[in-house]
Amino acid sequence: MNGAQLSEFPDDSEQLGPYVSGLRRRALQAGELSAVRTFSDQFLLKFLRARDLNVDLSLKLLLNYQRWRRESPEISTCLSPSSVLGLLNTTYHTVLPQRDRTGSRVLIYRIGQWIPKDWSAFQVFRVSLMTSEIISMETETQRKGLKAIFDLQGWSLGHALQINPSLARKISSVLSDSFPLKVRGIHLVNEPMFFRPVFAMIRPFLPEKIRQRIHMHGADFHNTLSDFFSPSVLPPEYGGEGPGIEMACQDWTNKLLQSETLLQQIASHPTGDIAVTPEDSLISEERGE
């Protein structure tokens, strides 16, 4: 039985036990993690499923994740949706209510809604990290990963000036080897010509596997997004038949706000048991609790 098949077993399955125990043993022996003494099953399973139960690769991902958090405290230590509520209320970001035909979560980022003079790139990145932490707790997302749509309508020089090489490296690390989520596809729509220098800055840091999953649709995206997503998944603004984008953004903002306490737990102690409360209804539902 291969790793992808093993990933389909429920969290408490006997078949997953040896992999969880093996990764915990290796993590406790890792000198780089000597300050961390607790690794919950829930935490370890995220890394195991992200690497199809390969313990060596899962350990490498876990080490990269912990290193990224240490090196990016300006992003990782403040996972508070209420601190960026103004940005969220611009309908900048959502996770669509329906998964795509392969079971992947579908995220949308509307870059033009981000006003650079009001919100720094670090605050914008923090929104993405909060969403990533939340959906990485969903068993089905651990198995099937995510696809992201970046709508670049409204991209300006002000946006470009916020993205420096250091931030580009941090973004690429999360996309490739420092976060326990499988990135199944990245779709750019309405991308202007002057976005290309920023993309050229990020691209060298991405592994070939991720580069092959980047699709540029341009302004005529309504005809091409349908090759990747069913109409029932996408909002009408993106050629679909699902809920409107503003409603979808508001619904996800509400879910993030309901997860404020949960996200604060993750920020302070990401490797331990995270208590999912009734308020965190989305996660409880996705995990079958």
Q: Evaluate whether residue 285 is within a structural domain.
A: no
pLDDT of residue 288: 47
We report the CATH number of the domain holding residue 7 as 1.10.8.20
Instruction: Provide the H-helix boundaries in 33-164.
Output: 41-50, 55-71, 73-76, 85-88, 121-135, 139-144, 157-162
Question: Do 65 and 166 fall within a single domain?
Answer: no
Give residue 35's identity as a one-letter amino acid code: A
Question: Do 137 and 213 fall within a single domain?
Answer: yes
Above 70 in pLDDT, residue 289? Answer: no
Averaged pLDDT for residues 48-76: 93
Question: Do 91 and 62 fall within a single domain?
Answer: no
Averaged pLDDT for residues 85-102: 96
Question: Do 124 and 231 fall within a single domain?
Answer: yes
Which single residue is written with the structure tokens 């690769």?
57
> For residues 47 and 58, is the Cβ–Cβ distance under 8 A?
yes
- Give the helix/strand (H/E) hosting 216: strand 214-218
Q: Mean pLDDT lowest for which of 1-5, 28-32, 154-158, 235-239?
A: 1-5
Question: Do 20 and 122 fall within a single domain?
Answer: no
Question: Do 202 and 91 fall within a single domain?
Answer: yes
Distance of CA 197 to the CA centre of its chain: 24
Q: What would the 3-class secondary structure string for 231-257 be?
A: CCCCCHHHCCCCCCHHHHHHHHHHHHH
Question: Do 38 and 93 fall within a single domain?
Answer: no
Range of the structural domain that residue 54 is part of: 3-71
pLDDT of residue 1: 77
Q: Evaluate whether residue 281 is within a structural domain.
A: no
* Whole-structure pTM value: 0.91
Domain count, the chain: 2
We report the CATH number of the domain holding residue 190 as 3.40.525.10
Confidence of residue 80 (pLDDT cuts 50, 70, 90): very high
Averaged pLDDT for residues 41-67: 96
Structure tokens that stand for 21 in this block: 């125990």
Q: What is the pLDDT of residues 95-147, one digit of tens each?
A: 999 999 999 999 999 999 999 999 999 999 999 999 999 999 999 999 999 99
Structure tokens that stand for 207 in this block: 């592994």
**Bigger pLDDT: 52 vs 167:** 52
Which single residue is written with the structure tokens 């029932």?
232
- Give the helix/strand (H/E) hosting 186: strand 183-189
pLDDT of residue 202: 81
Question: Do 132 and 25 fall within a single domain?
Answer: no
Collapse the DSSP code of 180 into the 3-class scheme (helix H, G, I; strand E, B; otherwise coil) and give the result: coil
Averaged pLDDT for residues 229-247: 96
**Bigger pLDDT: 255 vs 194:** 255
Single residue among 43, 71, 99 that ends a domain in this structure: 71
Distance of CA 131 to the CA centre of its chain: 6
- Helix 41-50, helix 17-29: angle, nearest 10: 100
> For residues 56 and 25, is the Cβ–Cβ distance under 8 A?
no
Question: Do 119 and 232 fall within a single domain?
Answer: yes
Query: Residue 102: how many CB atoms within 10 A of its CB?
Result: 11
Question: Do 223 and 91 fall within a single domain?
Answer: yes
Above 70 in pLDDT, residue 30? Answer: yes
Single residue among 54, 71, 88 that ends a domain in this structure: 71
Above 90 in pLDDT, residue 274? Answer: no
How far apart are alpha carbons 228 and 170 in whole angstroms? 27
- Helix 165-176, helix 121-135: angle, nearest 10: 10
Averaged pLDDT for residues 255-282: 79
Q: Evaluate whether residue 22 is within a structural domain.
A: yes
How far apart are alpha carbons 231 and 253 in whole angstroms? 23
